[in-house]
Structure 1
Amino acid sequence: MSARLVVEACTGASSFQDGGRHGYQRQGLSGSGPMDRLALAAANALVGNALGIVALELGLGGGRFRLEGGDLWMALAGAPCALRVDGVPVPDHRAFPLSEGSTLAIDAPRRGVFAYLACAGGFAVPSILGSAALHQRAGLGGLHGRGLRTGDVIDGENASRGELGSFGIPGSLDPLPLETDAPVRVVLGPQADRFTPEAVALFTDAAFAVSHRADRMGIHLDGPALAHGPHGYNIVSDATVLGSVQVPGRGRPIVLMADRQTTGGYPKIATVISADLRRVAQRRPGEAIRFRAIPLAEAFALARERAALTAALPGAVRAHAASAGDRLAGANLAGAAVDAFADPLCDGP
């Protein structure tokens, strides 16, 4: 019998996510996957998994889980949360053992929104159309096409498949910076010409704030209204991408996220670059967002830099495990440029 987690309590928006469901946008199904791809990769790296293996995404919440039927190595990465095993605090961004009969308690994050709980070997969540990721509006993936609930039982895969046991001591990483004060970089377009020049300038000059209408489909922003040009706010519906910034008739931007619709009839003033999507996802309602336009070539370079950083995470964990006093010494975090489109956790610039 494999180890399994019994959900004793669960708060916030919790769902299982992996690297995403690819190849179905032409049928109207977006890829889902994590809201913070770097944090998912870090949680998996900490327990020796492939970086895109399914993990539990916790959104502005936490939970309490009791382990039955075996032992597991686990790790939490992303938004910083207080963790306790049988009441004893354990750090995040560090692998820790959970023994049969123990209880893991995770508080809501102190900062940011999304944190990822991974276990060595992964969770036994069914794959549908090539992914275990929950797409809630489509009712696909996750546990029975929905998020986590109190009373659910989550089976772990064979924990011995994780590499961590061979390290001898737990792997750890420095906490990932959430970058929630940094500007969000965008490439203008594809329909920036559907706005007045003043509106385009205002988009990159003004401060916006995350509204309470924010979820995995899209993040609505409060702030100054962006005026459309003489052709109005309706276009022939065309494709959206992760990070498209739509502006409907009321003039307030919406950043489309992991569970977005695949087409839309509102003009898109800009597209958030892939490396900065986590800067949007980890901002809470009421927190400010400023946008900065960059050239497409710079967006590609930043995507390759993020892909290299992600690919280097397992080496960073091994460096920590080899010498806690020489953190990251053996990891090549800058590395040679890695093509972003070869990274299953990266959607491009």
Structure 2
Amino acid sequence: MTAKLLVSNTSPLTTVQDLGRSGMLRHGISASGPMDSQAFAAAAAALGGAGPAGIEFTTSGLDIEVVAGGCRFALAGGQFTASLNDVAIAWPDVGDLQQGDRLHIGPGPVGNYGYLRFDKGIHLPLVMGSQATNLRAGIGGFAGRALAAGDILGLIEPEQLDPGQQAVAAASAGPIRVLWGLHADAFPPEVHSRFLQKEFVITSRMDRMGVRLDDPEGVFRASSGLSLVSDAVVAGDIQILGDGTPIVLMRDHQPTGGYPRIATVIGSDLDRLAQMRPGTHVRFESVSLVHAHRLSTLRSASR
């Protein structure tokens, strides 16, 4: 071990994440991975390369004590407050941790998810080729669960560093862009129009599995009761539940769903949606598959 870190305080849904276990949906396991993949990658880039896994924390923050050894660390994602040994540090930031140091991350004004990454690997087993925590399946990370006060994480020299990438300039405002979904034709044209014209509201019923939306304009009021034979779903799908509630599926989504999906948030905007706090008003904009691919290519080219 090159270092040991004690989790002395943590927020709900704080988990160990890496880039996720792609290709496992056929086995009923979603990819998981960071809710804000751009911020996760930016933390690695700030270090000049990071261990494959890092810690994803939520709005209440995180407290870490170094009980042995040392490492370099980087902070990114959202906008939180932070201090090292009770001295305020910047956000985002990069620094060094030595035995006895205390890193405190506190609530901030923007975002739901932040990231703490190290120039070392986290000493946890691979499950299906990944250390990503999937809370729904109870696998990966620290015994398949969220981190809790008293947990100790060991750091080791990684076999390979994740180079990450600098944050790509992305839309910070404006509509969330979507592709029409597999079941868009289950909804009449007037619902399509209203879906793009009206505002929805992010609710507090949000986690790594999905984000429920309030529909104050009643766009889907007449769409309640729609159900289908279950088939595969993907992160970003906007599913209309049996009572007409829209829910955007996120990184730990279920493998299949029996409710119609009117649209799918494009990958380039899913991180931004994940960082929207409850009470935020959101609109959707339809884009073409060609446009979505172009945005994805530009994002990949920056890696």
Structure 1's consecutive aligned runs of 4 or more residues displaced over 2 angstroms after TM superposition are 158-164, 175-182, 224-232
Q: Quick one: distance in 2 between partners of 1:215 and 1:15? A: 12
| % identical equivalent positions | 38
Q: Quick one: distance in 1 between partners of 2:58 and 2:199? A: 24
Structure 1 residues 74 and 191: CA distance shift in structure 2, 3 A:
same
Q: What are the Cα deviations for residues 21-70 of structure 1, in whole angstroms up to 9, with x where unaligned? A: 122211211111111111111111222325x8111001222121111221
Conservation of the 8 A alpha-carbon contact between 2:175 and 2:285: yes
Matched, 1:305 2:291: no
Provide the TM-score with structure 1 as the length reference.
Answer: 0.81
Matched, 1:32 2:61: no
Q: Quick one: distance in 2 between partners of 1:87 and 1:176? A: 32
Provide the TM-score with structure 2 as the length reference.
Answer: 0.92
Matches within 5 A, 1:237-276: 237-276=230-269
Moved more, 92-101 or 208-217: 92-101
Q: What amino acid is the match of 2:80?
A: C
How far residue 247 of structure 1 moved from its aligned partner, in angstroms, is 0.7
Conservation of the 8 A alpha-carbon contact between 1:47 and 1:162: no
Q: Quick one: distance in 1 between partners of 2:280 and 2:223? A: 32
Partner of 1:76: 75
Q: Quick one: distance in 2 between partners of 1:5 and 1:199? A: 51
Report the 3-state secondary structure (helix = DSSP H, G, I; strand = E; otherwise coil) of the residue aligned with 1:221. Answer: strand
Partner of 1:158: 157
**Would you say how many aligned residue pairs link Structure 1 and Structure 2?**
301
Q: What are the Cα deviations for residues 162-206 of structure 1, in whole angstroms up to 9, with x where unaligned? A: 699xxxxxxx97x88785533100011211110121111111111
- C-alpha RMSD of the superposition: 2.4
Q: What amino acid is the match of 1:247?
A: I
Q: What amino acid is the match of 2:251?
A: A
Question: Structure 2: 5+ residue runs without aligned partners?
Answer: none
Q: Quick one: distance in 1 between partners of 2:168 and 2:63? A: 23
Q: Quick one: distance in 1 between partners of 2:161 and 2:225? A: 54
Structure 1 residues 12 and 129: CA distance shift in structure 2, 3 A:
same
Q: What amino acid is the match of 1:38?
A: Q
Q: What are the Cα deviations for residues 300-341 of structure 1, in whole angstroms up to 9, with x where unaligned? A: 0011111123x0xxxxxxxxxxxxxxxxxxxxxxxxxxxxxx
Partner of 2:194: 202
Q: What amino acid is the match of 1:117?
A: L
Partner of 2:13: 13
Q: What amino acid is the match of 2:69?
A: G
How far residue 126 of structure 1 moved from its aligned partner, in angstroms, is 1.7
How far residue 267 of structure 1 moved from its aligned partner, in angstroms, is 0.7
Partner of 2:185: 193
Structure 1 residues 71 and 295: CA distance shift in structure 2, 3 A:
same
Choose between structure 1 and 2 for higher RCO, CA contacts under 8 A separated by at least 6 residues.
2
Structure 1 residues 110 and 277: CA distance shift in structure 2, 3 A:
same
Matches within 5 A, 1:200-349: 200-223=192-215, 224-227=217-220, 233-309=226-302, 311=303
